[in-house]
Amino acid sequence: MLRWVRQQLGFDPPHQSDTRTIYIANRFPQHGHYVPQKFADNRIISSKYTVWNFVPKNLFEQFRRVANFYFLIIFLVQLMIDTPTSPITSGLPLFFVITVTAIKQGYEDWLRHKADNEVNGAPVYVVRSGGLVKTRSKNIRVGDIVRVAKDETFPVDLVLLSSDRVDGSCHVTTASLDGETNLKTHVAVPETAVLQSVANLDKLVAVIECQQPEADLYRFVGRITISQQMEEIVRPLGPESLLLRGARLKNTKEIFGVAVYTGMETKMALNYKSKSQKRSAVEKSMNSFLIIYLIILLFEAILSTILKYAWQAEEKWDEPWYNEKTEHERNSSKILRFISDFLAFLVLYNFIIPISLYVTVEMQKFLGSFFIGWDLDLYHEETNQRAQVNTSDLNEELGQVEYVFTDKTGTLTENEMQFRECSINGIKYQEVNGKLTPEGFSEDSPDGNRHSLMKEEELFLKAVCLCHTVQINADQTDGADGPWHANGIASPLEYYASSPDEKALVEAASRVGVVFTGTSGDTMEVKSLGKPERYKLLHVLEFDPNRRRMSVIVESPSGEKLLFTKGAESSILPRSKSGEIDKTRIHVDEFALKGLRTLCVAYRRFTPEEYQEIGKRLREARTALQQREERLADVFNFIERDLELLGATGVEDKLQEKIQETIEALRLAGIKVWVLTGDKHETAVSVSLSCGHFHRTMNILELVQHKSDSTCAEQLRQLAKRIKEDHVIQHGLVVDGTSLSLALREHEKLFMEVCKNCSAVLCCRMAPLQKAKVVRLLKTSPEKPITLAIGDGANDVSMIQEAHVGIGIMGKEGRQAVRNSDYAIARFKFLSKLLFVHGHFYYIRIATLVQYFFYKNVCFITPQFLYQFFCLFSQQTLYDSVYLTLYNICFTSLPVLIYSLFEQHVHPHVLQSKPVLYRDISKNAHLGFKPFLYWTILGFFHAFVFFYGSYLLMGEDTSLLRNGQMFGNWTFGTLVFTVMVITVTMKMALETHFWTWINHFVTWGSIVFYFIFSLFYGGIIWPFLHTQDMYFVFVQLLSSGSAWFAIILIVVACLFLDVVKKVLYRHLQPTSTEKAQLTEAGSGINCLDSMCCFSDGETACTSVRRMLERLMGRCSPTRVNSGICLVSALYWNDSVYKQEEERLDACGCTNSCCQLS
């Protein structure tokens, strides 16, 4: 227990060494004073709470919110001192908000517990006491030998010991980890691969030393020491030996492995780490408004307290005859009385802070996010994929994007590679009808119709077929005739690869006569024009982003040791000493200018002495436990030198559909697009031009191939000067990775100045962390623009997480980008609707919701403040406590919630076809200081009209009934409250442009509910109420004609000026959005047809309708009726819209009632 406490406090970390020692089958040494290491159990815990800590932990998290903590303080003040309102008025809303949030979070955590229990309780088989024992997953310990059968997932991270195959290999898919669906091959060390039975494995005596757990899925460093016949054999262990939890066994009957990482120490669990919490600009504005309203609250409370004591300075008001003080009150401290009165006023005015705002915003974000998934325009039929929302906290941020950072491959392109051209020995070739044809020759020419391959061509194609990680469909390799079942090239083989480039090249080689037919153990077979050749695979030098190449060392059928290497031209050409280097470099540049992805291919022959030295160095580096990666990198560099260049390949990656239109729409919306790619300079520029990122008329500036700070700085200064001189012309900037590193090191400010003055920026040869650094640089610049990053691969995850909004493309490079994104879409073209329609709607809705909440609470509490001037600041409340409690919870909550879910102030089709409308909401335009000031002043104005309008009615003569009966202060307060409820609800109705039956129901229903509730509340004597000041008050109020007249007059007076303001602004300073609304109104999107239509198609009040529509900018499409599904009504597929429009045109319908919205 003490050790656990020390670990939790950080004094005694569980792993004190850099490595862990694992005794297979937990056969610990019997000698000495060996103390077993402590390892985690195999339970997966994704839940946040337990039964014991849910209440305290959840309450702590909720009361970290300023508004919740503030209302808790107010509630405690009401309990401790004599305040004018009941503690229930603050306690009940607080309890409601806390309870709703706790239930939501508790339910989500219960689902996590349920999922954890299913995983932890899954049955598994382990080798214990000489036999297979069935147990639960959570009972697996580090060191246990686990059996996994075909198509089962691995329950822990295992080091492979053996499989049902003689060579100890197995195939797995890691789709649940990194999304890659290709088969990956893992191999056991030879000494354990032969142990294929439980009895043999039970006799195994071995020790594994490996690194401590880390999150990197592709890194594992270890070694296994096997005791055999009184000697110890040491073998290296790498990622090829590690089977990860969550991966699935394929094409292998069963495997045995030893558990090395368990439970929350598995690589899958370590990758669960939560993303940094992103906060939207609206949430930041909301917190700023909250602080301002807290200041207003404190000002009102302090002013009221001072005025109270100023008033009581006169003796007649200090202790009037009808309210004499007690002896205790006369002798109490003035300071304590002042503090007590201040707190009492604080309680009286505390409802100016809208406690239900947070819970309403959460509901709006959560429910509103479903519309993205339901939108048919964001559904991709070919892949059966719909848009996906991973976080609903950033919906409104989609409407504020100023910069889009996009990957190229798989995001702007299809990531479907097709072989187009290659260069072999300085000659360019194209594939024509399954034959390699030199450039300039046709199939009919004498040299163009060859049936044999030249020596250089054959060697090049063999290099392509041997240097890769391609797998073959098991159905074709595991047939009755063994792995060599493929009969020549008559039956095309089905290849799988994690890299689309590799697959395209191997398929192209097979079409022209050199076919890779599979692997068996360490043997690779290639058929060259039908003649089989077997190569022994000796070593694989894996690809890594720093080297930008991969290599294999093979033994040819003649016994010769060969190195085949392929990679980026920047990593191959400098290491080549022979071959047609200059010609190949020219061809690579030509391929790149055509937008092709290029790779160079080279080889090297080893003498027996050279190979012996290489083998020794590789063994030493691979068995090292410390700095293994650095040592391997040095050895790889030593091996991959003095190459002989064979040629280069050009593979085309087709652009996705509607890429040009989408990028142009983003530009019209005022959004700058930056392309960040790892491709070479020429390829990236070519693709940028073809996709419309760069215009042909654009002046393209370059910052590339700089090796020193001084040259980079000088070039930046020249670019900045050139931009100033040619400020009329649009500029595009191209930067490469090395120049970017130099620019960001010392000249960050100058670099940002150049970038911001360019219309488009292209960064090529970028590493993943450089992508994130560029996003962070712009995100933290003084202007603080809202950024969006979009990509499809694991190399895009860092930039997706860094940007304000991260979007993953459901492409062919796995699901890592999708899992780490905030939103996921199937194609880049869907980005336009996601931003211009959904982003626009979400921002308008939540901006109005937030400001409306503050407005209605100013309306609510300001009459309470004004009332104190008429009651000598005696802290008498104007409203009944039940009204205080239910105002935000029941009477005014639903209309604004429904508005925030369904509002469409402009038709979606118009928003998408006019991207310029996006500029109207950019830079948080609707939640800036001016809109906030307008809503606040409007709230105060309406509150003054409520109070003084009611006062004019009842101030001099309170007898409003025919019999002369007098009304009291509760009647006055109820009159003010009634006018207020109607006015704030009607104000929401004025803001609503898109009317559905739900809007009508909650808007008019809220007013009706208030009247019915008040009649029941005041019309019945409730036995459980201590006092009932409101008994028959509301009934008597409604029985007065003067009161009805006052209610109507005050509501009209409040809203009239608001309507006038809207009219003036629409005519004098209309925004692009308001102009679009008027265009809609004139083109048949009619609001009032349902009220004014005759059966013959003519309208009786066309002029009135048009005038009102022009005044209010309203459009409530008549297509939204009870016969249409609500979701379809709200987000109608554009294709359906167009079809319906054509149908109406064809039938010649002139009835304005059936015109489309």
Neighbouring CB atoms inside 10 A of 183's CB total 21
Q: How far apart are CA 75 and CA 89, in angstroms?
A: 9
Q: How far apart are CA 170 and CA 192, in angstroms?
A: 14
Q: How far apart are CA 491 and CA 515, in angstroms?
A: 11
Q: How far apart are CA 576 and CA 568, in angstroms?
A: 13
Q: How far apart are CA 842 and CA 1130, in angstroms?
A: 13
Note whether 325 and 315 are within 8 A (CB): no
Q: Radius of gyration over alpha carbons of the chain, in Å?
A: 37
Neighbouring CB atoms inside 10 A of 72's CB total 17
What are the phi and psi torsion angles at 317 (to 5°)?
A: -95, -20
- Residue 763: its H or E element: strand 760-764
Q: How far apart are CA 905 and CA 993, in angstroms?
A: 5
Distances (CA, A) of 1025 to 95, 875, 1010, 1017: 20, 22, 20, 11
* CB neighbour list of residue 348: distance below 8 Å, 6 or more residues apart: 83, 84, 85, 301, 304, 864, 875, 877
Note whether 55 and 63 are within 8 A (CB): no
Helix 88-120 and helix 66-80, axial crossing angle in degrees, nearest 10: 130
Neighbouring CB atoms inside 10 A of 1054's CB total 25
Please list, residue by residue across 162-177, b when 16 or more beta carbons sit within 10 angstroms of its beta carbon and e when fewer do.
bbebebbbbbbbbeeb
Please list, residue by residue across 751-789, b when 16 or more beta carbons sit within 10 angstroms of its beta carbon and e when fewer do.
bbebbeebbbbbbbbbbbebbbbbbebbbeeeeebbbbb
What are the phi and psi torsion angles at 520 (to 5°)?
A: -140, 105
Ramachandran quadrant class, 32 (left: phi over 0; alpha: psi -120 to 50; beta: rest): left
- Provide the residue count of the chain: 1157
The counts of H helices and E strands in the chain are 44, 35
Active site residue 407: yes
Ramachandran quadrant class, 745 (left: phi over 0; alpha: psi -120 to 50; beta: rest): alpha
Strand 787-791 vs strand 403-406: parallel, antiparallel, or unpaired?
Answer: parallel
Helix (H, G, I), strand (E, B) or coil at 533: strand
Q: How far apart are CA 523 and CA 552, in angstroms?
A: 12
Give the residue from 975, 1116, 989 showing the smallest Cα distance to 1050: 975
Pair of tokens at residue 1061: 């303001």
Three-state secondary structure readout of 183-250 = EEEEECCHHHHCCCCHHHHHCCCEEEEEECCCCCCCCCCEEEEEEECCEEEEEEECHHHEECCCCEEE
Give the residue from 342, 350, 396 showing the smallest Cα distance to 67: 350
Please list, residue by residue across 888-921, b when 16 or more beta carbons sit within 10 angstroms of its beta carbon and e when fewer do.
beebbbbbbbbbbbbbbbbbbbbbbebbebbbbb
Q: Which of 157, 341, 375, 407 is catalytic?
A: 407
Q: Quote the DSSP letter at residue 835.
A: I
What are the phi and psi torsion angles at 1012 (to 5°)?
A: -65, -45
Q: How far apart are CA 490 and CA 493, in angstroms?
A: 9
Distances (CA, A) of 802 to 282, 405, 668, 821, 822: 19, 11, 25, 10, 11
Sign for the pseudo-dihedral over CA of 183, 189, 195, 200: negative
Q: Give the residue numbers marked as catalytic.
A: 407
